[in-house]
Homo-oligomer: A and B are copies of this chain.
């Protein structure tokens, strides 16, 4: 009897992308179900009453474990499949990776994604009309500040949280990659961030994200280009 995994996700959801990157890096096979979360599908709400992606279902025979919300899934994967470790080994490394995860999931999402993805993605998916220029500008300004911070971190680090690739890199890359799908990341002005993103983009775990397309949402021409 073998363990089967099904990931219910939306391809352009940053939270879902973090889980896909972590599972890819840990070489865990899974079946995918794309969820139109904004339509609040009944089957999906039964799995996760919050209505939010991602949800991972692990089945083995009759036993079934339903894991809802990105952080619960990531923590579970780390506990059950510890190799390669994506949270660091000691308390200081782990604290730094977790600090940056929350930075991107809370601060970046609120200040950047909440404006740019709302205007460019959610409005399109929900049929809410054209993006508002003032909101795009606010999101782009905040994005620059976050990229300055990423540059500062990378000035003396190989990866965001330190010497090793961690969930902090996946959190940052997941959020930035969706913004990049819509062509809004000014990579040329942030050379360290660009090199870091190139390294991530060329990892096998990243490949599936680069093939994501959603009807009505056309990616920027350089989106899947490894040499952007």
Which A residues lie at the B interface, using CB under 8 A? 48-50, 52, 65-72, 75-76, 79-80, 91-92, 94-95, 98-99, 101-103, 106-107, 149
Contacts and interface: CB of A to CB of B under 8 A. Distances in A.
Contact of A98 (B49, B69, B92, B103): B69
Contact of A99 (B69, B91, B101, B106): B69
B72 A71 contact: no
11 contacts: A48-B99, A49-B149, A52-B107, A65-B91, A68-B102, A69-B99, A70-B102, A71-B98, A72-B99, A72-B102, A79-B94
A94 B76 contact: yes
B66 A95 contact: yes
A91 B49 CA distance: 19
B149 A103 contact: no
Contacts of A149: 49
Nearest to A56: B95
A103 B52 CA distance: 10
A15 to B, nearest CB: 9
A71 B69 contact: no
Nearest to A68: B99
A95 B107 contact: no
A67 B79 CA distance: 21
Given A65-B91, A70-B102, A76-B91, 8 more contacts: A68-B95, A69-B103, A69-B106, A71-B71, A71-B98, A72-B101, A75-B98, A79-B91
